[in-house]
Structure 1
Amino acid sequence: MLIHEARQLYTGEGLGLDLDQTVYALDATTIDLCLALFPWAHFRRRKGAIKLHTLLDLQGSIPTFIRITAGKVNELSILDELIPEPASIYVMDRGYTDFRRLYRLHTAKAFFVIRGKKGLDFRRRYYRPVDRSTGLICDQTITLQGPKTSTLYPEPIRRIRVQDPETKKRITLLTNHFDLPAGTVGDLYRSRWKVELFFKWIKQHLRIKAFYGTSENAVKTQIWIAISVYVLVAIVRKRLGIDRDLYTLLQILSVTLLEKTEILPALSLAGGTPVEDRSANQLQLFDF
């Protein structure tokens, strides 16, 4: 219910790209656990962990699909649980490269943008001119030539090579969207950093690394509480019209939690510098 309400509030919030389609980022993060205390969270022989699989709506960074599994569960299996939305765009890292599952997205009239793996066997069919000054290297239409991949994905795929302007690192992107400008495809992949930021925010600010219980139900309950807090802050931000990111708002709330301060004045503090997370009773170690 919270996710549905938050998504409605953020419907009109764009990505800074000329797109009318819904864009999702799919990724997973691993949370390490002690196997002796959490014997149900199988990961490796002597290590326990759980995985938080998340489909993030990049309009407002709202999670729309979340699955909590044991650490040994492969990320690819989550693609089988998703119900593709026609005309939507799914942005994924190369760990989700499975051409049978990608072709399923394609036949469902959904689009994908995924980072390609090295050593892909393909044949170039068409080549589009690109402006190399923008970081684009090539924009091609290809067909897969591998004995297995050509059967799993029998239709043409678009292959785009881009170079990061800061790191100068070159990456290959594969997509079934042939109408978008090549630069927009690169921007879409770069926008998936929001799901990484979501994981970082969840882990650092909502303290889910220290669990209050050791059962599977206790761990899942605590994670869902953390996600509920995240979505609640997103709803408060939109309803009160606060021009600050979610991460700054939660930091403000964390240091004013036990103060008798109305929420709107607390979140509308002057200045844009994030509030430091420190205890008011903490003495200074050095007196300068």
Structure 2
Amino acid sequence: SEGKQTMEVETARPYFFGDIGCWSERTEVHKAASLGQASQLQQLIQSGASVNIVAVDSITPLHEACIRGQAQCVRLLLDAGAQVDARNVDGSTPLCDACSAGSFECVRLLLDRGAKANPALTSRTASPLHEACMGGNADCVRLLIAMGACLEAYDLYYGTPLHVACANEYADCVKVLLNAGAKVNAARLHETPLHHAAKNMRVDLIEMLVEFGANVYARDQRDKKPLDYTAPGSPAAACLQFYESTPLSLQQLSRVAVRNILGTRALKVIGQLDIPNLIINYLCYQ
């Protein structure tokens, strides 16, 4: 027992000091948090182990619990005073990791404890909303937006969260973003979300984006339209050819016009208009 305690003290000994403070070897707290060993973690906390000690790359036990979606351990760490917005060497917060893991429970816990939905980003960090769109959990995306996450947060590599959701083919996330007012024609190097949908040959995403006003003629940095990325004769090609040759219906044009004017408030405002339900349904995306 004495030998084991000595070993744990050795493991936790700092070995590097930099701008961010003391780095130590990965501790027993890190391990328990990562593996979801709640009772072991509770014992360590009760015996006085630090929940804010940082391992290599400034990774805290809370980061590790969030990366693995270990909600019970996240709760224990936060109760013990873990810093909710601690940053690792890349600038990622635990919320970024929980979103990437697609763990709704961890995301909810962190936001309830004051985690920032829009932490300041570095060139190596995507926003929590980007990470949630990579993780593919539409409930996480919905919750982040409700907490004020920026729909147009821009990442140098990925573009906007809508780009990420389309590139990863998460239709539920795409729908949540569009309904919330994400800009359908946002561009990264002139590439739009519709280009991603076309490359992935996803007819459902193509139709959804066009319904929300996507420009089928948009050209990327290679001067290619979305149609140019589809296989000739494929359903995706046929869909884009139809949209290129057929004007949008009055209903589609009305919806796009309302969205352009109301932006992110569209869903809420349309439902409050003093007009017949039939017209409200006409203007709302189902």
TM-score (norm 1): 0.27
Higher radius of gyration, 1 or 2? 2
TM-score (norm 2): 0.27
Higher RCO (C-alpha 8 Å, min separation 6): 1
Where is the strand percentage greater, Structure 1 or Structure 2? 1
